[in-house]
Structure 1
Amino acid sequence: MTAAAGSTWNEDRGAFAVPRWPEAAPPGPDFDAIRAEFDVPEDFPPEVVAEAERVAAELPLPADDATGLPLVTVDPPGSRDLDQAVHLAREDGGYVVRYAIADVGAVVALGGALDAEARRRGQTLYSPDRRTPLHPPVLSEGAASLLPGQDRAAALWTIRLDADGGVRAVDLRRARVRSRAQLAYPDVQAQADAGTLPDAIALLPEIGRLLEQGAADRGAIELGTPEQQVVHGPDGGWTLVARADLPVEGWNAQISLLTGRVAARLMLDGGVGVLRTLPPARPEDVERLRRLAPALGVDWPAGTGAGQVLAGLDVADPRHAAFLEEAAALLRGAAYTPFDGAPPEQTGHAGVGSTYAHVTAPLRRLVDRFATEVCLALAAGREPDPAVRAALPELPGLMATSDRRTRSVERAAVDATEAWLLAGREGALFDAVVVDADGDRGTVVLAEPAIRGRCVGTALEPGSRVRVRLTEADVARRSVRFEVVA
């Protein structure tokens, strides 16, 4: 569940806005207080800003000139921190994927003030009303961002695929690049539907679907459940929506996942790096889900993996949505796993169905900068910088702290908005769907707005539609409770 800035994340498929009520509600939840509660960093220290401004004024650019490559970026509308630019083409009966990633390692000096502050923050944090960036905006939204028409430093991946999507060859180098256009998901989806995609990404549906099929064949597990998000309503206040990804977002994600897979292979072959890992689902969790499938109308043929079953579900079906909620148990235990020498015991990522590493979002995620630096060194046939190598064991702890803070803020923002939207409506009746249950207690999701809450009652069956009464909407405690109406 994600609390996301409305200007960035809520314009795509699955988003709907409901006017807030009651009419006399205050302006909205106190998101400042939530950030303070969880110690979210606010302004950058003066020495960090000074270093960022100095680097931005003297932006280092690689000698290798790839500005003739007509790359484009594809992101949520209004984005300014552009990590990735892509160009897709046919080649020798297969495909060539060129993926330029903002070269943050070229602008953030190891051991400097920028580096120290990035380690403290860990990642960009998105609240409903603001973005708390990993790096000062002069870099993350300016000199280091792959903005159109600007020469930028990039780690340029060239990945050659065969006709079936298998990797033939990989090249990685530092290069100067220039994006031709900044494209937004809704517009790209409309162009894909009309068959009018720009040349640079005309093959995105074809390659994306091919990679999706490869992921299914590998047994990758993708839940695809709609996210609960806090966004601006039509009256300027806050509301909640359930947002599902557009197909183009899934295809674009496959390009990123492909790059993460080849990066992991490069690091494993080189004997040093940091992987994103997720252990295989526990057999007991898979068996429990299999037993639940018939009750929720899910067909699970013999010999079919969980990932293939989940990929065929319809999130608009309340029973399937409840099944997907239960399937989240299959994806527990994600971690960052550094190694130097022998490979770690756990190398795979069950969600991806392969080995995998985070390397495609260095403007917004700390670990990507270090993983990219390792990959650049190994691709050039040299050992990684000792300072990069020394930082690898520290990354899991830094990222775990950042992940916990991010999840806490996002959950608190959603909880506060739910209580605020419902405050004063105690006793009101709503249509809802049960998404999980344990005896006479469970969780329901309202039809509108996209509010979740704990519920008590005797008719709690996952996937069932129920009528519920609001019994509590406590803004201070960020608590919402319901009971089933007999």
Structure 2
Amino acid sequence: METTTGTGLDFSGVRVDFRLPDGYPPDALAEAEHAVANHRLAGREDATHLPLVTIDPPGSRDLDQALLVEALPDGFRLNYAIADVGSFVVPGGALDTEARRRGQTIYLPDGNVPLHPRVLSEGAASLLPGQTCPAALWTIDIDSAGEPVEVRVRRAVVRSVAQFDYDGVQASVDAGEPHPSVAALPALGRLRREHAVRRGAMELQLPEQAVASDGNGGWRLMLRPRNDVDAWNAQMSLLTGMCAAKLMIEAGIGVLRTLPEPDEGAIEWLRRSARSLGIPWPRTSSVAEMLSQLDPGNPESMALYMDATRLLRGAGYTSFDGALPELTTHAGLGAAYAHVTAPLRRLVDRFGAEICLAVSSGEDVPDWVRASLPELPGLMGGSDTLASRVDKACLDQTEAWVLADQVGGEFDAVVLRAESANAEVFLPETAVIARCVGENLPEGGRIRVRLLDADTVKRKVSFERV
């Protein structure tokens, strides 16, 4: 479901409130332009013969990944090219300094605030179709059980043959006519999703809100669709990140994305929540197994997904050089994991890529990478927080715009999470997720709510149970 706001609205207020930069500093931009003009591809493996393709949202220009999935007699081979933005960045230079300050690309409905200048992120460093690009090329052989058995990564020259979006690839798969480069993606994607459940990964299929232009100067609030291709493609990125983490741990140097295991008390609390919602959960089934069997369309399932978010609190970044840290795994993924697949959009991936390239080739990790490891967790943690707050502010702003002329109106809602006389509710009709007050707010229950206020200045909406 979706709703459209009025025209003439933008998110400049969000940009001001969060002090987001407008444009790129001249010295850093000049450095990027110089790097593009003088970039050389000599000395790299020529992999332009590989028919790699990209799968991204429609209209994307900052293309980090291109893939080729092949079926083998005893498993699969994933060729996964990752944009080598590091080959354009001078360590310690103006561009490096500004990228560290930003941490990641911040996405707003009316345009992003890029980590790197667009001449790189949407130009020379992006894996655009038909463009010869530098890349960190991963080749991962996977056995019939879904386990990686051989991994290597090296600097290469690649050329994507096509740019696809999720819906387009899904339609071709459904029609039985997928592009040859992704014909084996469904089989490998399903295998890796099964593997994820076995290792204890927790997938929460909650409604995901999105804001998009309506083409008339206004905005529409909608639920972001996630089809099978989206999930399978994500598994390729996760697989690569897990292989990267293994390389780092074996070498004793790296930066991991970590999350501690939930304690037994938290799991028992979730079991009580499942019982109250009428969701069966055998003692022999893990959290991951139980969650994987839920129907995301059921309100009870949505409520339990929301409750399960409590098990995923405390994620962070852990860097090390020498002795391994006490925590090396990510409980939500059921494995050790490192960010390496989105260097155009996320700072830490550039450093992770350099570590893996060095380790895989038997070379020393560059000193500038080693020197940066202690500060990366703080830089990424701060940028993650900012990105999350900006995203929420944009959603809150759009919800207020969408509902501004409907104060006093009544809506059907699903209670996602309830605490005393307050609850978080989901309105399928308007794709809104907001707070609601009232008595007897049953988690997973369908209720009728009334809109009390939609403040477009404070970006707040509030409901009460009818």
Per the TM superposition, whether the score is higher than 0.5 is: yes
What residue in structure 1 maps to residue 305 of structure 2? 324
What residue in structure 1 maps to residue 429 of structure 2? 448
2:434 partner SS: strand
Residues 7 and 217 of structure 2 are in contact (CA less than 8 Å); yes or no, is this contact kept in structure 1? no
What residue in structure 2 maps to residue 123 of structure 1? 104
- Structure 1 52/195 Cα, relative in aligned 2: closer, same or farther at 3 Å? same
Question: In the alignment, is residue 45 of structure 1 matched against residue 25 of structure 2?
Answer: yes
Q: Deviations over 1:304-350 (max 9, x none)?
A: 11111111212211111111111111111111100000111000011
What residue in structure 2 maps to residue 11 of structure 1? none
For residue 170 of structure 1, the aligned residue among 151, 154, 165 is 151
- Pick which of 188-197 and 288-297 moved more: 288-297
For residue 210 of structure 2, the aligned residue among 204, 229, 242 is 229
What residue in structure 1 maps to residue 4 of structure 2? 19
Q: Deviations over 1:116-170 (max 9, x none)?
A: 1110110011101111111011110010001111111000111111111111111
Question: In the alignment, is residue 241 of structure 1 matched against residue 241 of structure 2?
Answer: no
- Structure 1 80/26 Cα, relative in aligned 2: closer, same or farther at 3 Å? closer
Amino acid at match of 1:44: Y
Rounded Cα–Cα distance in structure 2 between residues aligned with 1:425 and 1:220: 41
Rounded Cα–Cα distance in structure 2 between residues aligned with 1:18 and 1:442: 23
Amino acid at match of 1:227: E
Residues 105 and 114 of structure 2 are in contact (CA less than 8 Å); yes or no, is this contact kept in structure 1? yes
Rounded Cα–Cα distance in structure 1 between residues aligned with 2:77 and 2:7: 53
Residues 66 and 82 of structure 2 are in contact (CA less than 8 Å); yes or no, is this contact kept in structure 1? yes
- Pick which of 226-235 and 207-216 moved more: 226-235
For residue 36 of structure 2, the aligned residue among 37, 43, 56 is 56
What does residue range 99-138 of structure 1 map to in structure 2 within 5 Å?
99-138=80-119
TM-score by length of 2: 0.97
Q: Deviations over 1:46-83 (max 9, x none)?
A: 11111111111222214321111111111111111111
What residue in structure 2 maps to residue 475 of structure 1? 456
Rounded Cα–Cα distance in structure 2 between residues aligned with 1:235 and 1:303: 54
Rounded Cα–Cα distance in structure 2 between residues aligned with 1:234 and 1:157: 39
Rounded Cα–Cα distance in structure 1 between residues aligned with 2:453 and 2:71: 58
Q: Deviations over 1:420-461 (max 9, x none)?
A: 221232211111111111122212121211112221111301
CA apart distance, 1:18? 2.3
Question: In the alignment, is residue 270 of structure 1 matched against residue 255 of structure 2?
Answer: no
Q: Deviations over 1:371-406 (max 9, x none)?
A: 100110111112100111100111011111111111
Rounded Cα–Cα distance in structure 1 between residues aligned with 2:193 and 2:310: 22
- Structure 1 361/62 Cα, relative in aligned 2: closer, same or farther at 3 Å? farther
CA apart distance, 1:92? 4.4
CA apart distance, 1:234? 6.4
Rounded Cα–Cα distance in structure 2 between residues aligned with 1:26 and 1:355: 46
Residues 41 and 157 of structure 2 are in contact (CA less than 8 Å); yes or no, is this contact kept in structure 1? yes
Residues 224 and 244 of structure 1 are in contact (CA less than 8 Å); yes or no, is this contact kept in structure 2? no
1:259 partner SS: helix
Amino acid at match of 2:314: G
What residue in structure 2 maps to residue 459 of structure 1? 440
What residue in structure 1 maps to residue 374 of structure 2? 393
Amino acid at match of 2:440: A
What does residue range 2-401 of structure 1 map to in structure 2 within 5 Å?
16-20=1-5, 25=6, 27-28=8-9, 30-63=10-43, 64-233=45-214, 235-401=216-382
Rounded Cα–Cα distance in structure 1 between residues aligned with 2:199 and 2:183: 26
Q: Deviations over 1:348-373 (max 9, x none)?
A: 01111111000000000000000100
Rounded Cα–Cα distance in structure 1 between residues aligned with 2:4 and 2:53: 36
Q: Deviations over 1:2-39 (max 9, x none)?
A: xxxxxxxxxxxxxx43233xxxx4633x5111111112
What residue in structure 2 maps to residue 425 of structure 1? 406
Amino acid at match of 2:4: P
Residues 226 and 245 of structure 1 are in contact (CA less than 8 Å); yes or no, is this contact kept in structure 2? no
- Pick which of 188-197 and 417-426 moved more: 417-426
CA apart distance, 1:244? 3.6
Residues 40 and 405 of structure 1 are in contact (CA less than 8 Å); yes or no, is this contact kept in structure 2? no
2:333 partner SS: coil
Amino acid at match of 2:66: A
1:449 partner SS: coil
1:293 partner SS: helix
1:261 partner SS: helix
Q: Provide the aligned length of Structure 1 versus Structure 2.
A: 465
Residues 153 and 174 of structure 1 are in contact (CA less than 8 Å); yes or no, is this contact kept in structure 2? yes
RMSD of aligned alpha carbons? 1.3
Amino acid at match of 2:408: G
Amino acid at match of 1:281: P
Structure 2, unaligned runs of 5 or more: none
Residues 60 and 106 of structure 1 are in contact (CA less than 8 Å); yes or no, is this contact kept in structure 2? no
CA apart distance, 1:91? 2.8
Structure 1, unaligned runs of 5 or more: 1-15
1:348 partner SS: coil
Amino acid at match of 2:423: G
What residue in structure 1 maps to residue 391 of structure 2? 410
1:154 partner SS: strand
Residues 19 and 235 of structure 1 are in contact (CA less than 8 Å); yes or no, is this contact kept in structure 2? no
1:146 partner SS: coil
Rounded Cα–Cα distance in structure 2 between residues aligned with 1:244 and 1:283: 34
Residues 126 and 132 of structure 1 are in contact (CA less than 8 Å); yes or no, is this contact kept in structure 2? yes
- Pick which of 417-426 and 135-144 moved more: 417-426
TM-score by length of 1: 0.93
2:439 partner SS: coil
Rounded Cα–Cα distance in structure 2 between residues aligned with 1:254 and 1:439: 38
Amino acid at match of 2:3: V
Rounded Cα–Cα distance in structure 1 between residues aligned with 2:32 and 2:395: 33
Rounded Cα–Cα distance in structure 1 between residues aligned with 2:349 and 2:159: 21
